[in-house]
Amino acid sequence: MNICIIGTGLIGGSMALDIKSIYAEAVIYGIDVNEKNLNYALQLGIIDKKAKNEDLYSADLVIVALPVDIGLVIIPEILDTVGVETLVIDVGSTKLPICEAITNHKNRHNFMATHPIAGTEFSGPKAAIKGLFHGKTNIICEVEKTTFKLQERAMDLFKKLGMRIRYMDPKSHDKHIAYVSHLSHISSFMLGKTVIEKEKDERDIFDMAGSGFESTVRLAKSSPEMWTPIFKQNKKHIVKSLNEYITNLTNFKELLENDKFEEVFTEMQNTNRIKEILK
């Protein structure tokens, strides 16, 4: 079984690590524009070999784990050259642009659009960890457009990775993921920015930061290379979610300013429902 990982970072690298323990016979080829990271991936045993272009043709599985803007350019090129039996899986955080970009590609049936909801705030091959996908959700878009035999190959992999599968159309995916993922990243980045700006001359202040601040600001450690193209591709839904978030913050601030503390209480009490919602 020949597997090619394009982008040997956190997601691609973690998937490679799991694939090695799932498929004993797998040979993992790696591609990365960042030669240093590719060498790390080789040293860390994430990949077995650096891939040449012709390796794509003979691959059983190609996993594209790139920033979404680069994926949008590379995936059609990969589909131009893949073998008949090759499954190409994309794992990016936006789904409509890539689904639209290849909708009329002659090899559309070799492709599966997925979004494994898994990750950490770190990036690069050194951030790759085993078991990252276990118990996590994988969203698959337009599954009917992938050849049935290749669907089965993908499902075997996802099952063995321990993932739960959810099917969704790419438009709905992008709309909802703006709220439950992309907005969190912006709220966290801007919280980090606000506190850094305020406390730039008082480094000691961060001694006062507890686990609450750390957890709320964690996503502000995320990679700008990865997130800028996500925000660009999903701009419409993200701007809408940001408008709603800013309105809610402004209302809450006005309740404080006007001493409406019973309403402040009620706002928090209503939002406590998040306890039940998140299991």
Site for a copy of itself in 187-246 (CB under 8 A): 187-199, 202-222, 224-225, 227-228, 231-232, 235, 238-239, 241-246
Contacting a copy of itself (CB under 8 A), which of 4, 88, 102, 139?
A: 139
Neighbour count for residue 105 (Cβ, 10 Å): 14
Residues across the chain:
279
137 binds a copy of itself (CB under 8 A): yes
Subset of 54-83 contacting a copy of itself (CB under 8 A): none
Query: Dmax of the chain from CA atoms?
Result: 68
**Residue 70 to residues 117, 197, 198: CA-CA distances in angstroms?**
20, 32, 36
The least distance separating a copy of itself from the CB of residue 181, rounded to whole angstroms, comes to: 6
**Structure-token match 């979404």, residue found:** 68
Number of residues that bind a copy of itself (CB under 8 A): 92
Contacting a copy of itself (CB under 8 A), which of 59, 118, 154, 157?
A: 118
The least distance separating a copy of itself from the CB of residue 44, rounded to whole angstroms, comes to: 21
* Closest to 76 in 3D by CA, of 50, 52, 51, 111: 111
Contacting a copy of itself (CB under 8 A), which of 119, 142, 157, 174?
A: 119
The least distance separating a copy of itself from the CB of residue 60, rounded to whole angstroms, comes to: 28
User: CB burial class (10 A; 0-12, 13-18, 19+) of residue 125?
Assistant: buried
